[in-house]
Amino acid sequence: MKRLALLVLVLVTITGCAAIPTNTQPKPIGPKDNKATNTVSAPEPKQGIDPFQLVRDFVDATSNPDGDYAAARAYLTPEASKNWTVTKNPVIIESAFSTVPISQAPADKTQIVLLQGKRVGRLGGDNAFVTELGDLRERRLREPLKVERNSDNQWRISEAPSAVFLPLNIFNNNYRRVTLYFFNPEFTVLVPDPRYVVVPPAISIPTRVTELLIKGPADTVRDTLKSAIPSDADTFSETKEADDGALEVNLTKVGKDLTPEKNKQIVAQVVKSLSGVTTSRVRVLVDGQQILPDQRDYRPSDVSATAGESLLALNANLQGMLVADGAIRSLADGNPIKGRAGSGEYGAVSAAQSLDGSRLAVVSRSGGSMRLRVGELEQELSDVDVKANSLSRPTWLLSSGPKEPGSEVWTVVNGTSVARVTRSNNGSWTAAAVNITELAQFGPISDLRLSRDGTRAALVIGGKLYLASVVRNDQDVALRTPRQLQQSTLGSAVQSIDWLSQDVLVVSSSLPTLPVTKVNTDGFKLERYSQSNLNVPVSSVAAAPARQVQVIDPSGLWSASDITDVWKSSSLRVPAGALVFYPG
């Protein structure tokens, strides 16, 4: 009988096991699955603190958005917590802020505490930083918070603020800048798109990066940049480290019509976007299967070709040039370049060399007007039908492919319009207007520099620093979503600008305390170069990846490799009005 019972038990066990599939794929994790279902507990506020310290501690607690800001809600009354609906995109204020009373006596059971500070900016719904514009009065924060004693005679906030206000120092400690990458419209170059994500827990940062990457470019560049990842894609499983140490990114809903080239582009976007948050190999999967059959894991160097890095890299032999006394000279030794541009016959006022180095654009003076000439380096330059009282120094668009010469150059005409000059198949150069309707309200444009990937334009407008997105469609080429950078710091003192990298500008000014600075394209960060040896105004600046920054001030030409370097004087003589430039 015991043997019969044992046999029945074994059969039941085998039957049960047979019902379990042996090749089950993981279930995709969508947005709904990622929502926390458990309640996050938070410590109670310190006993006996006054209303002002309560509000300060509440502000500190808002740095943690976990559990729908559970840590901050501990400072609210139950009713206020219930009614407090807040987004997870904080308003960033200066680190120094105050909490002051509004005319209540200390013995009152209800008081109004005024949270005072200055707005710096905010995080948008896309997790990109948005600068707060306006003068000090317009940026001033005065947020009243009502506090009252609870049944335990402890102060709690009974009317919560309208948003999360996060001091800059706390924001820096709890948020991390991450750089996503999307393609230019031609899918030839990857372009950085900076965002900010909550740090704790750090293990979740790759997942946050993946989620933001799937959502696409930031609002300001949504019409400029393109993603190889379909808009309805999702995460098949969490981005995490596999048993062998590789970081696995598992996607789903990427469509059935993906070509090998499109898959390579997806891999390049993912690998480059994660390169700033991991040193591990990156494994890109689709529905649990590797996306490309010929390679399983990737490092940034594996995707450099797809990322178009060779299109952006300057040839080591291209060491920069000078415009001095109407002639184009080599920055390496000061000697004139060959041809009429080097001899001074054109009477050059400014100039630009194409990224590949093969072509030159020169703004020259002709009588009382300016004219633009474009052509092959060291050869006769063609006169373009763009004549004006003033033309800004030209700026080149990147080449369309490896070993292809530049074929598009821009300049500002009379400070009020922008011309893009393109080369036709027959070799002629023709000018067309760029749509700058969104910039017209800001004033005269004195300088314009296209980023070397061609997707953004930095401008000096009325002495102020602006950034705009380059939007191309069948109707026109336009500069869209202009935004002023570092308004409160640089004001209207900007003299000259150039691109140090795809997402960093070098800016020269007439400010004695800020002769040369480094500014991120989102406007969040400004770094000062050394003031040593420089005099203001610093009228010209040249910057490029893997190159020394070159500047011209009233005393001459100077160079520095880093913000901490003392500026080194050049042996080259530069007259008043001289201009220095790298290809681009």
pLDDT by residue (tens digit) across 467-511? 999 999 988 999 999 999 999 999 999 999 999 999 999 999 999
Average pLDDT over residues 232-244: 92
- pLDDT, position 39: 54
Two tokens, residue 306: 């797809």
More confident residue, 426 or 539: 539
What pLDDT, in 10s, does the model give residues 36-80? 334 567 789 999 999 999 999 999 999 988 889 999 999 999 999
Other residues' Cβ atoms within 10 Å of the Cβ of residue 75: 26
* Residue 504 to residue 358: CA distance in whole angstroms: 25
What pLDDT, in 10s, does the model give residues 386-406? 989 999 999 999 988 777 899
Per the prediction, the chain carries an average pLDDT of: 91
Strands 165-167 and 91-93: parallel
Backbone torsions φ then ψ of 415, nearest 5 degrees: 75, 0
- pLDDT, position 510: 98
Lowest mean pLDDT among 245-259, 433-447, 484-498: 245-259
* Residue 564 to residue 303: CA distance in whole angstroms: 33
| Residue 12 in this model has a pLDDT that exceeds 90 | no
Average pLDDT over residues 410-426: 96
| Residue 266 in this model has a pLDDT that exceeds 60 | yes
Strands 408-413 and 417-423: antiparallel
- pLDDT, position 476: 94
Write the DSSP symbol of residue 95: S
- pLDDT, position 344: 96
Q: Which residues contact 127 (CB under 8 A, 6 or more apart)?
A: 89, 195, 196, 197, 212
Please state the length of the chain: 584
Write the DSSP symbol of residue 350: E
Element (H, E) at 454: none
What pLDDT, in 10s, does the model give residues 73-107? 999 999 999 999 887 789 999 999 999 988 666 66
Nearest to 121 by CA among 184, 72, 194: 194
- pLDDT, position 138: 84
Strands 282-286 and 247-252: parallel
Backbone torsions φ then ψ of 142, nearest 5 degrees: -135, 90
pTM: 0.90
More confident residue, 578 or 475: 578
- pLDDT, position 296: 96
Q: How many helices (H) and strands (E) does the chain have?
A: 12, 37
- List 157's β-bridge partners, or say none: 76, 147
CA 225 to chain centre: 12
Q: Got the DSSP string for 33-90?
A: HHS--SPPP-PPPPTT--HHHHHHHHHHHTT--HHHHHHHHTTB-HHHHHH----S-P
- List 329's β-bridge partners, or say none: 322, 336
First to last CA, the chain: 91
Q: Which residues contact 243 (CB under 8 A, 6 or more apart)?
A: none
| Residue 142 in this model has a pLDDT that exceeds 90 | yes
| Residue 3 in this model has a pLDDT that exceeds 80 | no
What domains, with CATH codes, occur in the chain? 42-163 (3.10.450), 176-307 (no CATH), 312-581 (2.120.10.30)
| Residue 245 in this model has a pLDDT that exceeds 80 | yes
CA 64 to chain centre: 24
- pLDDT, position 227: 98
- pLDDT, position 322: 98
User: Do residues 147 and 55 make contact, with C-beta atoms less than 8 angstroms apart?
Assistant: yes
- What b/e readout covers 472-500, taking b as 16+ CB neighbours within 10 angstroms? eeeeebbbbbbbbbbbbbbeebbbbbbbb
Other residues' Cβ atoms within 10 Å of the Cβ of residue 561: 10
- List 451's β-bridge partners, or say none: none
**pLDDT band at residue 15, thresholds of 50, 70 and 90?**
very low
- pLDDT, position 40: 60
- pLDDT, position 137: 79
- pLDDT, position 87: 75
